Amino acid sequence: MTILTREEWGKIREIKELDLQTCSFCGKLNILNLGWRAFGKFNCNNCEKKHVLCWELCYKYCLNILGCELRKEREEIATGNTVITVNQEYYRASCYLCSKELQGAGKHGVVKNRNNPVFWGVKSVYKILCLGCLGKRYYFRLLDGKKRTFRKYLKRGYE
């Protein structure tokens, strides 16, 4: 059972769509919108199943007791064509890590490109990130051209 603090409840109270992960074995719940560490997605060569495992006990359980041969699931970096819907009302979105309120792309119910990690070429389980959180976590992974664009957006004062 996951217990939320008052601060965490304040962050997700206005969010209409939560991104949840559930551990395959213990059933532990993970709320990605709160910036919690994402569970690992693995493929097992022995039982030929896909597992989503929490890092505490289930990962060690699968390796040592079940004898699974876990391989990290590879996710292809999607092109800029993927559309991420906003997680609040149609013209607002909130950052998954800091809960900063961001503008959507007009009234179309989608996230602006600069707040979509896929636009920057970053593979992330977090779907909506403000430029501050993106810079803190993923700046070193950006290509040179994307770093230039990132700095340009910061100079313009975008969030």
pLDDT tens for the chain, 159 residues long, are 567 788 888 878 878 778 888 888 788 888 888 878 888 787 777 777 787 888 777 777 776 666 666 666 655 555 555 677 787 777 888 888 888 888 888 777 888 889 988 889 888 888 889 999 999 999 999 999 999 999 999 999 887
Q: Can you tell me the distance from the alpha carbon of 110 to that of 82, in angstroms, rounded to the nearest whole number?
A: 10
45 alpha carbon, distance to own chain's centre: 26
What is the rounded (10 degree) CA torsion for 102, 106, 109, 112?
-50
Which pTM value belongs to this model?
A: 0.66
